[in-house]
Structure 1
Amino acid sequence: MAGTAFDTLAERYIATWNETDPKARRRAVEALWSEDGRYVDPLVEAEGPAAIDATIAAVQQQFDGMTFRLAGPVDGHHDQARFTWELGPEGGEALVVGFDVAQTDGQGRLVRVLGFLDRVPTA
């Protein structure tokens, strides 16, 4: 997977987290993730497109009106990529910053994403 393919993968991934239309988001999740895809971060573990879609919907509800964006270059080799992302108001300072490692099936579909939260809002 070339550098530009990793960039495209990360952009599609972030776009999925920003898709607020439930039907369009579900289609995007199903197109991007393998059937047995798994998303894990310190707060959630989701396996399969339905659980991943539900996780994204819950985050959108919790952070209503906020958007995800890439926060730096995408790095990758073989079938894995890593990238930093931010979540915050459009054009404003990020409230949440994280780092994800994504593994694909060799055909460009995600099989695993491991998320790390570097900055989260305090209660």
Structure 2
Amino acid sequence: MSIDVKQLADRYLAQWNEPDPAARSALIREVWAPDAVHVLVDPPQEIRDAAAALAVPAPPLEVHGHAALEARVGRAYEMFVASGEHVFTAGEPTVLLPNVIAIRWSMVTTGGGEAVGGGVDVLSLDPSGRILTDRQFIAP
């Protein structure tokens, strides 16, 4: 793979921590293909419970395209990072297959670096190194 996966992983992570909406939008448009899909594979328990109450299996949650990605990443920033209490960090990306990488990440406290959440994202890339699909698995 001729793509610099470390640089891609750094830019991918930066979008989740970016406070400026215009800079975040620019990162998304740089890192993601225009028709990209982000899939939250295992939704939070309250979503699974609501689906079960309707006798519907909990589906993965998906967003498609740059505008939806901006809303998704922006909302995650507001919920988890904007308060200044947490930041997202990541380890070294792992190349799984040509054009498929995994990024293991954590949400840590800014005061002490204690992990309070995390997961792994499996990214499939187009030939130019932009994300086509992101399957996000959040650790319980």
TM-score range, shorter chain: 0.7 to 0.9
Scaled by the length of structure 2, the TM-score of the pair is 0.77
Structural RMSD (CA)? 1.5
Aligned residue pairs, count: 117
Matches within 5 A, 1:64-79: 64-65=83-84, 66-70=86-90, 72-76=91-95, 77-79=97-99
Q: Secondary structure at the match of 2:115?
A: coil
1:52 aligns to 2:51 (yes or no): no
Give the corresponding residue for 1:112: 133
Residues in 2 aligned to 1:74 and 1:28: alpha-carbon distance in whole angstroms? 18
Structure 1 residue runs without a partner (length 5+): none
Residue identity over aligned pairs, in percent, reads 32
Moved more, 57-66 or 22-31: 57-66
Give the corresponding residue for 1:27: 26
Structure 2 residue runs without a partner (length 5+): 44-60
Deviations 1:29-56 (A, max 9, x none): 0111111001011334211011111111
Q: Which amino acid aligns with 2:133?
A: R
Considering only CA atoms, is the larger Rg found in Structure 1 or Structure 2? 2
Q: Secondary structure at the match of 2:4?
A: helix
Q: Which has the higher strand share?
A: 1
Scaled by the length of structure 1, the TM-score of the pair is 0.87
Q: Secondary structure at the match of 1:24?
A: helix
